Amino acid sequence: MTTLNRTFQIARRTLAFSAVLGIGVAVAQAQEAAAPAATAQPTLNFQLPVSSATPSFSSSAANDDAADVSVADSKNPFDFLAVAGTQPPPRRSYSRPRYRGGNTNADGSNKYAFVIGGGLGLPVSDTHTYLTPSWAVQVGGGRNFNKTFGVMAQFDYDNFGFQAQTITNQSTIYFGGQGFGLDGKSHVWSLSLDPVVNLTSGEGVGAYVVGGAGFYHKTANFTVPATGVYCDPYYGICYQYAANETIDKYTSNAPGFNGGMGFTYKLSRFSGERLYGEVRYVYMVNSARPGYTVSNINSAPITATNFYPANSNRTSYIPVKFGIRF
């Protein structure tokens, strides 16, 4: 009897579970049938309506939507995809900034320029027959009007020696060929105003041409060995020393002209200094003066006092200078 009751209870529970499961399935099918069909995925619209000329607005929430609709004008859409007239102008390119001060021109170049250098002077043409090359120095300063053009005021000192034949001839004139250790030197110092045109002055190597005119002073000095005596005024001790004694000296002043070309090298990108090397041709317009020479020593007038007329000859030489410009 007990087994029959237990079997009946299991059957009853199974029927109840089946009923509940059937109801759930029916409800799910009803909801699926009632759901609306899926709509298509909307596409992006890149056109916006442009406001009309006479929009109307209202403070009420109900009229806001109406106002939004009223400002729409489908006949004049604003197309975001249109290129003409809607893109910003191209970016403007800017050059390197220039910082201009009181010592700088409008193009960024320095207003003032200075030069210091040295090298040698090479006598040419007739001057080479009585003078030999020697050392030279150069200093100057000037005004740059822009990167291309400037004017320099320069002082140049060009030293020269005498040819051996020149010393021999002068020994003949002075001592009848005895010699007596005759020696000497010559030099030219000048003050000139020189325009400078820079052909190129960018980064690294540059080039320029230069030319000008000025005052030139030429000197010839002949010496013989001598012994000097110096006495100390405090201790009263005297001693001798070797020195050259000038026995004859001549000078000649004349206008002169120069012209040449040079190259520069900038030390760094941010520096204003440049190394330079230049070559010029110098011509002095000396006025010849008569005097004694080895060819007329026996026929020259006794009153003649110029024993070295070559110092007043026209003079030409090539100075080669190296230095720094800043």
- For residue 219, what is the enclosing H or E element? strand 205-231
Closest CA relative to residue 134, chosen from 122, 143, 126, 125: 122
For the segment 259-279, what is each residue's pLDDT rounded down to a tens digit?
Answer: 999 999 998 877 778 999 999
DSSP class per residue in 36-103: PPPPPPPPP--EEEPPPSS----SSHHHHHHHHHHT--TTSEEETT--TTTSPPPPPP--------TT
Domain 112-325 in CATH 2.40.160.20? The answer is: yes
**pLDDT of 109 higher than 50:** yes
**Three-state DSSP class for residue 156:** strand
pTM above 0.85, yes or no: no
Higher pLDDT, 270 or 225: 225
For the segment 73-87, what is each residue's pLDDT rounded down to a tens digit?
Answer: 555 555 555 555 566
Cβ count near 28 (within 10 Å): 10
Over residues 55-67, the mean pLDDT reads 48
- Provide the residue count of the chain: 326
40-44, 178-182, 226-230: least confident range? 40-44
The CA–CA distances, whole Å, from 93 to 89, 97, 104, 217, 269 equal 12, 12, 24, 56, 22
> What is the pLDDT of the chain when averaged over all its residues?
81
**Pairwise CA distance, residues 179 & 300, whole Å:** 21
* Res 121: pLDDT: 97
Determine the residue type at 248: D
* Res 57: pLDDT: 47
**pLDDT of 64 higher than 60:** no
* Res 93: pLDDT: 64
37-46, 199-208, 248-257, 266-275: least confident range? 37-46
CB-based burial label for 315 (10 Å; 0-12, 13-18, 19+): buried
**pLDDT of 38 higher than 80:** no
* Res 6: pLDDT: 65
* Res 283: pLDDT: 98
**Pairwise CA distance, residues 289 & 305, whole Å:** 11
**pLDDT of 55 higher than 60:** no
Where are the domains positioned within the chain?
Answer: 46-93, 112-325
For the segment 180-195, what is each residue's pLDDT rounded down to a tens digit?
Answer: 899 999 999 999 999 9
The dihedral over CA atoms of 84, 86, 90, 92, expressed in degrees to the nearest 10, equals 130
